[in-house]
Chains A and B, each alone.
Chain A
Amino acid sequence: MSNLIVFPLLIPFLAAIILLFIRKSVTAERILSIIAGIATILVSGWLVIDVYNQGVISYAVGGWDPPFGIALVADPLSALLVLFASIVVFVCVLFSIKGIDEVRVKFYFYPLVQFLLLGVIGAFLTGDIFNLFVFFEVLLMASYGLITLGGSRAQLQESIKYVLINVISSAFFIAAVAYLYAVVGTLNIAHLSERVAEIGQPGIVTVIAFLFLIVFGMKAAIFPLYFWLPGSYSAPPPVITALFAGLLTKVGIYAIMRIFTIIFHHQPQITHMVLEILAILTMVVGVIGAVAYNDMQKVVVYNVVAGVGFIIFGISSFNEAGLFGAGFYLLHDMLIKAALFLLIGAIMIVTQTSSMKNASGLIKQYPLLGWSFLIAALSLAGIPPFSGFFGKLYLFQGGIEAGQYISVIIMIFVSLLLLYSVMRIFFNVVLGEENHASQNEKANIKGLLYPSMILLFLSFVMGFGAEFFVPHLTNAAEVLLNPEIYIEAVLKE
């Protein structure tokens, strides 16, 4: 069916609209969100299989062939990202049944989540740089709504920073698109790639590439532009931060991956060297934050920053192993960061504090929660049976093949310290003397645990069944390394 690629966009959109009509009934909203979630997962799973069988799929919206119309393009990487994004959203919807108060639900929580998913999937699937901007705005608008939803003091304070930063970076995005359009005269990504190759990426195009790096770096939180993230990711309730950590920075990373492999790949000695330096600095800053804080939420938030560094490093290696590792780590990171935020959310409901100093000994009353957290921590650090391992292994291999020895050594140390940062939560809060807020009457966290268990199970499957993902991600790396495949699929010459 040729219209398949539109359905991952249509389902969340239609679901969001219908949710606006039935906002009076919380139960109906939940049932519809779950149905829409399952439908999105099935459709995007089908898309992944289709892309695997047919190669890159291009779809002309409105019947106007690219480069004149807008193209939707599904290559192996974006199809997988769409699937994982819909899984993360589905799991967060499950968590929200118990994990979010009715007041927030009544004020459009579920429609906003569906609009967020629409924006994220659109950004993954579009083949047009201005359309990418539009989908960025769709997901940002939804995230503005979600970050302020509830209107607590901390949320409002952080949302001002968040909105300000994103408005500025969107203005830069528009400026960058305008410059690029002035130089090459097209907006379709495949056609852009062709035209930039024709003129051989002169100085001005490299400058525009850096402008795009600033824009997407602000969304993805790479080193000098990450400062907004720790505050705004610790203000809203855990479900919302899990959604943000699982989806938002990943869209920025995907955009960096896309444009630096397909459009601006002619001067790697400049652009990819800068990417490498920024990646290393991002990791170092992330790990310093993760080790420094005694606040559980802050530790995980800085782990998000460090994770961004790892993936950008894979892009900077710019060889098959590096891009394969970046793709694998990106997918793993979506699952595991969402799982960690959901687990921290459950822990905070039990302890009623986010400081690790004031609570300990959860394991006696909540063994399942404790062991799930351990698995999540080990998976995050990249211990072999879990999914973090293969991503990092290929990232290291890519780095060594590209001769980035010092960076690889720094990465190994950073990984160790990240393991230390999450194990510190495990040893302080989960193990130890029993001392926490719900010590006497057991807090009810039944409905809060199984969503993160689903994510951990998937991460486990990704680690044990890595062979299943390898052919798919090898295809993804191949498309990223050979833009001709992408261009040929879109422009069909």
Chain B
Amino acid sequence: MHPNDVILQTVTKVLAFIIVIFSFYVFLAGHHNPGGGFIGALTTACAFLLVSVSFDIETVKKMIPVDFKTIMAVGLLIAVISGVLPFFFGENFLWQTFDYFDLPLLGNTELATALVFDIGVYLVVIAVVLAVIFTIGEEQ
């Protein structure tokens, strides 16, 4: 298809990493700044799409060896479990809490249980976007 896409592929190799790192930043910043699970996942999906455009879909499938639908189900499960866990502490469904921890490297960090729910959202959105685009792409 593209006989001379050396430039595109080289740029992609660098750019995909930057996009993924930025998407992680956006994902983790969601609690206090604009960002969160949804936009973080869309950005990560963009990195995979860029790879699939400049190489091909097979490369992406090698990078993610799991079926997208399974990732979707895992994401949903994580979100539901984060809602159910408060039952064991005598709290209501989807109850959230946060606390400060001294982590190595990061220092005093605020960790919120909302992050667990967000990881679920993150996985579902990535899986849905990639599943939709690759399903349409494969039929041609």
User: Which A residues lie at the B interface, using CB under 8 A?
Assistant: 2-3, 6, 10, 13-14, 17, 20-21, 23, 59-63
Contact = CB atoms under 8 A, between A and B. Distances in A.
Main secondary structure of the interface of B (DSSP, over half): helix
Interface string B95-114: 11000000000000000000
A3 B93 contact: yes
B92 to A, nearest CB: 5
A3 B84 CA distance: 10
Interface string B70-105: 101100110010001001000111111000000000
B92 A59 contact: yes
B13 interface: no
Select the residue from B72, B77, B80, B92 with max chain A CB neighbours within 10 A: B92
Nearest to B92: A63
Nearest to B75: A17
Given A6-B93, A59-B92, A62-B93, A20 B80 contact: no
B73 A10 contact: no
Given A17-B73, A20-B73, A62 B80 contact: no
Nearest to A9: B93
Q: Which 3 A-B pairs have the closest CB atoms?
A: A20-B73, A62-B94, A6-B93
Given A17-B77, A17-B80, A60 B70 contact: no
Contacts of B95: 62-63
* Of B73, B77, B87, B91, most A-chain CB atoms within 10 Å: B73
Interface of B: 69-70, 72-73, 76-77, 80, 84, 87, 91-96
A6 B94 CA distance: 10
23 contacts: A2-B92, A3-B93, A6-B93, A10-B80, A10-B84, A13-B76, A13-B80, A17-B73, A17-B76, A17-B80, A20-B69, A20-B70, A21-B70, A21-B73, A59-B93, A61-B92, A61-B93, A61-B94, A62-B92, A62-B93, A62-B94, A62-B96, A63-B92
A60 B86 CA distance: 13
Chain A contact residues: helix, strand, loop or mixed = helix
Nearest to A21: B73
Contacts of B91: 63
Contacts, number: 37
Contacts of B94: 61-62
Given A59-B92, A61-B94, A3 B80 contact: no
B122 to A, nearest CB: 16
A63 B113 CA distance: 14
Nearest to A1: B87
A464 to B, nearest CB: 38
Nearest to A19: B73
A14 B81 CA distance: 9
Contacts of B77: 17
Contacts of B73: 17, 20-21
Given A17-B73, A20-B70, A62-B92, 18 more contacts: A2-B92, A3-B92, A10-B84, A10-B93, A13-B80, A14-B80, A17-B77, A20-B69, A20-B72, A21-B73, A59-B93, A61-B93, A61-B94, A62-B94, A62-B95, A62-B96, A63-B91, A63-B92
Contacts of A59: 92-93
A13 B80 CA distance: 8
A21 B80 CA distance: 15
Contacts of B84: 10
Nearest to A111: B73
Contacts of A2: 92
A13 B94 CA distance: 14
B139 to A, nearest CB: 13
Contact of A3 (B69, B76, B87, B96): B87
A281 B133 CA distance: 46
B137 to A, nearest CB: 19
Q: Taking each of A3, A17, A61, which has the highest tally of chain B beta carbons within 10 Å of its own beta carbon?
A: A17
A17 B83 CA distance: 14
Nearest to A59: B92
Contacts of B70: 20-21
B98 to A, nearest CB: 13
Contacts of B96: 62
A426 B32 CA distance: 66
Contacts of A17: 73, 76-77, 80
With a 10 A CB-CB cut-off, give which of B80, B93, B94, B95 has the most chain A CB atoms.
B93
A78 B136 CA distance: 41
